[in-house]
Amino acid sequence: MSDKALGILELETKPVEHPGFMAGPGTFPFPVKRRMVPCAFTRNVIDGDKLVEAGYVAGALELERQGVSALVSNCGFTGLYQAAVADAVSIPVAMSSLLLVPFVARTLKTGARIGILTYDAPKLTEKHFSSAGWSSSEISVAVGGIEGSELWHEFAKPTPDIDVAVLIRDVREAAKKLLEANPDIGAFVFECTAFPVAAGAVRRDTGFSVADVTTLANMLFGMSADRSIS
């Protein structure tokens, strides 16, 4: 019987523990080990603060010592630290669901675009794409966010109080607006790790595939080798 576990590197912001969130019960069908990264808050990570990179590396090393089989992050903007974390450990690392974009792109017909839904669209830049191994010159994407919404303001707080109904409403609205502006979208990738709870609603609304951090985590865990967890 496998004793594999997934390691999750978390913002210092209090994680949301509702079902369906990364810290919620039953979200993953396998054990997880979580580690908070000191001084990694929503705002400074989204702003690309390189000073917290060392904290992510240290957290990854500690989770590796504890025996996890793979590592993910609870903020897609930490994809900027992908190379540093992956180079520091000997287990698979996936810091952002943006890593899924080339795969999703290959599942679509020629000319279809990927809609990327993010926490803060103006902050998601070509650097984040490059850190995930692709560029917008190679893969056609349209980016939309929830900036300015009730959800956006709540997640900026150190201890967010998340109403799941509000989250689903705001993500559905963002998807609708992005699709109206870009009717050639053929699938969605959610950057924000809070958005998976709205994935089902967006699939029903649009009829399109939606990939997110839970998609990524399940893939990564499934391909990782067994290790002894402590």
pLDDT digits (tens, 9 = 90+) for 97-147: 999 999 999 999 999 999 999 999 999 999 999 999 999 999 999 999 999
The count of domains in the chain is 2
**Model pTM?**
0.94
135 and 205 together in one domain: yes
87 in the same domain as 74: yes
105 and 15 in one domain?
Answer: no
Contacts with 150 (C-beta within 8 Å, 6 or more apart), sequence order: 166, 170
If 0-12 CB within 10 Å is exposed, 13-18 middle and 19+ buried, where does residue 16 land? Answer: buried
User: 228 lies in a domain?
Assistant: no
Residue 94 has pLDDT above 80, yes or no: yes
71 and 106 belong to one structural domain: no
What is the pLDDT at residue 2?
58
In terms of domains, do 77 and 104 share one?
A: no
Residue 87, domain extent: 6-96+215-223
> At CA 130, angle to CA 127 and CA 135, rounded to 5?
110
Report helix, strand or coil for 45. Answer: helix
Whether the pLDDT of residue 230 is over 70: the answer is no
Q: Are residues 103 and 73 in the same domain?
A: no
User: In 200-225, which positions are buried (b, 16+ CB within 10 angstroms) versus exposed (e)?
Assistant: ebbeeebebbbbbbbbbbebbbeebe
Q: Do 129 and 79 share a domain, yes or no?
A: no
